[in-house]
Chain A
């Protein structure tokens, strides 16, 4: 038997789905987390129950509004499922009943699960489930999906409905629509789901109208005879049907909620909102929170405690203690010590831990030949023992050691050592999402987003892109406006994803030692560059499209709740698993290929890297990247491998040069070039998986090709500007001039277009009036 989970957005469908099937689908505290249908299996061996369960995107109504709502509606109406399990958020019963009354109009057997009854209790209210069940005519059960309470009973109730049929009922058949509905019903006699379709035809639903094209005239004729609707609702049947539904819910269904405690005027959520969505403080508070998250993740100087800890306090720390504190210091001529007085942030501490482990396993073994007086090699002395693997392989042939130690292990460890920081960063973002705060941020950012031709709706998808652009691009389905949706997809890669972050961490660590930049600010700076470029690109896209006006933004704000340990843990675990899986498969395999291409020439002989295949091919393209400041084939090759997966940029550098620091020293690329390189990798064509997701959403090869060109051009231009301005500061004036000219040109282009449309409108009007005149003459 197949069960379809249907309900309002954010009512806990996916939580229930995960609880029933043991799946780990993404759960968040905002409306629209699930944008695709998910399938799983529920098994209860003791009672011999086995169900297929289908989780659907949340819907407010069966008259859909956004692409992901259409998925749900079509699935429910397809008849693929045997039973509907309608999940109802008990804390918001009236609004949820709006959908329930529509589901009851179908012929499908149905069970209602009242979710979140525990939070209802803490609000001082209860629901009379027996009364509700009687009124709706279907079983109603209280559950808590989160605490996994009442699930067995729920499945038992579902099982009892197996094979039963249900008479569809509607609650709008009594009022002013009674005659109209009955007449439309007669037209549909003998059809499947005729009550549902009849109601939808009265309502004027687009999808149903397409289904019954042939009888639309008759339906319209029937509707025209209803004078009451014409007078009261100005012929707006949609409003009339909605009104009838809500009127019924108000009168008959809302009294099942019983208040057992006095209700405060402002709930806890309202009080928190007064602060967090404040008209002035809202955005500064958000920026502070994000900065704090970055600080905890990346800072070498936790809470800036070095201001109170005396210099040199940790200079004699032992190996274990040095994981937590900075032991490096400088001593001047007078013996004054500077440094060694800061504590590492949790993210940096964890990263250090992984690096220690990597050293233990794969530290290179350094040996020196012992030469006797005649210049002949008599043996070797070991200078550094190295890690386990190099020691184990000390007698193996050179190429084996090369491929394992310099290829696979150094590439994979190069990426994995950044895993802790990625996880810490996402732990905090997940917590913020789970509390319900991020939905508020979408609201306070809407004003800013509108200025660049987007809306707050784009915020959640773009925020998800900080994790991974693939789900981020899929989440754009919640955006109603097509142009906004396409622009959001184009901007998605500019929001640095988890796989790209090792690039920033690695380069930031080098910049910290060479020019003394604070690593957390360098990384934050890269994220800001991405956001700034996204803003400018959005503005340009807005101008190019020539669209005026803003799209309406309506979004439900979920109730705040404390982060759920389980859902946060599951999310982080998923991230970890995904990352390790990629490190062990794609990345490990490509490091072997790169090591091979780096150590062999075209005639497959092992040669020095300067004559290798990679050096030759990469060398052909060096000139292209000279204006960008990194015209060195190793940088280029690393970037190209990033197309497979962005972690590869760092793993390739590890294979190509040994380490990021070594690469910078050997190539002589300056600070401006380094930053340009980071910007280039941030903005350029994303990994294959992302391109695939974008292509699927665009649904057209031409648009995808244009998107690829857009990403390539943006990254090239921005990296060039950064390099040139960074190297010769006065070039900033040239770029400012070019940008000003472009902006003025865009402005005039917009004006011209505006005048043209005005002219076209005027012409059309003139033609129409002429036609009307000539018709009048004909008639005469």
Chain B
């Protein structure tokens, strides 16, 4: 599931970041990493506000469509999610 399609106000786990290296570096520095938890707060036509740890990040569709996430409950059964951790 892509971040921009994630359910609103529900905690999800990032599984993969498919952006270019520079953006990936920025996302890492600001707290978005594979295996990390994020909450989608709001989606405006694909532009999103997400809560990461205790801060709120705004990102545009271009970034939000390159971040793969999955529901937290699934990730426990899923080996892929575990392996990243």
Contact = CB atoms under 8 A, between A and B. Distances in A.
Interface of A: 60-61, 63, 65, 91-95, 98, 232, 238-239, 242-243, 246, 265-266, 269-270, 273-274, 277-279, 282, 439-440, 442-444, 446-447, 450, 455-456, 480, 550-557, 559
A232 B41 contact: no
A136 B55 CA distance: 22
A383 B83 CA distance: 94
B19 A552 contact: yes
Given A238-B24, A239-B34, A243-B33, A557 B49 contact: yes
Given A239-B28, A279-B44, A446-B58, 12 more contacts: A60-B26, A63-B25, A65-B22, A92-B55, A94-B31, A95-B30, A95-B52, A266-B9, A443-B47, A443-B49, A450-B60, A553-B62
Contact of A277 (B31, B44, B59): B44
B3 interface: no
- Which 4 pairs show the lowest CB-CB distances between chains A and B? A61-B29, A60-B29, A279-B44, A443-B58
Contacts of B26: 60, 65, 552, 554
Contact of B57 (A278, A442, A550, A555): A555
Nearest to A246: B33
Given A65-B22, A238-B28, A243-B34, A553 B44 contact: no
Given A98-B29, A447-B44, A556-B30, A269 B62 contact: no
Contact of A239 (B24, B47, B52): B24
Nearest to B30: A60
A246 B83 contact: no
Contacts of A278: 44
B60 A456 contact: yes
Nearest to A439: B58
Nearest to A9: B30
Given A243-B35, A450-B60, A554 B27 contact: yes
A302 B83 CA distance: 64
Interface residues of B, number: 40
A443 B43 CA distance: 11
30 contacts: A61-B29, A65-B29, A94-B54, A95-B53, A98-B29, A232-B84, A242-B29, A246-B36, A270-B41, A273-B41, A273-B49, A278-B44, A279-B42, A279-B43, A279-B45, A442-B58, A447-B44, A447-B47, A447-B60, A455-B60, A550-B62, A552-B20, A552-B23, A552-B60, A552-B63, A554-B23, A556-B30, A556-B58, A557-B55, A557-B58
Nearest to A266: B9
Contacts of B52: 95
A266 B39 CA distance: 11
Contact of B42 (A232, A277, A442, A551): A277
Given A65-B25, A93-B54, A277 B62 contact: no
Contacts of B20: 552
Given A94-B31, A239-B24, A554 B58 contact: yes
A446 B21 CA distance: 22
Nearest to B63: A552
Nearest to A125: B54
A447 B61 CA distance: 9
A212 to B, nearest CB: 19
Contacts of A239: 17, 24, 28, 33-34
Given A238-B21, A444-B44, A553 B53 contact: no
Contacts of A444: 44
Most buried by A among B17, B28, B45: B28
Interface residues of chain B: helix, strand, loop or mixed (majority): mixed
A242 B53 CA distance: 15
Given A443-B49, A443-B58, A553 B63 contact: yes
B64 to A, nearest CB: 10
A556 to B, nearest CB: 6
Contacts of B33: 239, 242-243, 246
Most buried by B among A238, A274, A556: A556
A279 B17 CA distance: 25
Given A63-B25, A238-B21, A269-B56, A554 B44 contact: no
A367 to B, nearest CB: 66
B43 to A, nearest CB: 8
Contacts of A556: 30, 55-58
Contacts of A279: 42-45
A274 B51 CA distance: 13
Contacts of B47: 443, 446-447
Contacts of A551: 62
A447 B60 CA distance: 8
Interface string B53-85: 111111110110000000000000000000110
Contacts of B57: 554-557
A274 B42 CA distance: 8
A554 B59 contact: yes
B32 to A, nearest CB: 8
Nearest to A120: B54
A269 B34 CA distance: 26
Nearest to A279: B44
Contacts of A557: 49, 55-58
A554 B63 contact: yes
A87 to B, nearest CB: 15
Most buried by B among A65, A266, A282: A65
B52 to A, nearest CB: 7
Given A94-B31, A277-B49, A554-B27, A480 B60 contact: no
A487 to B, nearest CB: 17
B42 to A, nearest CB: 6
A497 to B, nearest CB: 27
A331 to B, nearest CB: 55
Nearest to B46: A447
A95 B55 contact: yes
A300 B17 CA distance: 55
Contacts of A442: 58
A712 B30 CA distance: 41
Nearest to B26: A65
A456 B42 CA distance: 17
Nearest to B60: A553
Contacts of A455: 60
Given A98-B31, A552-B63, A554-B63, A480 B22 contact: yes
A559 B46 CA distance: 22
A505 B19 CA distance: 48
Contacts of B36: 246
B31 A555 contact: no
A553 B57 CA distance: 10
A149 B28 CA distance: 33
A447 B45 contact: yes
A748 to B, nearest CB: 27
Most buried by B among A265, A266, A279, A440: A279
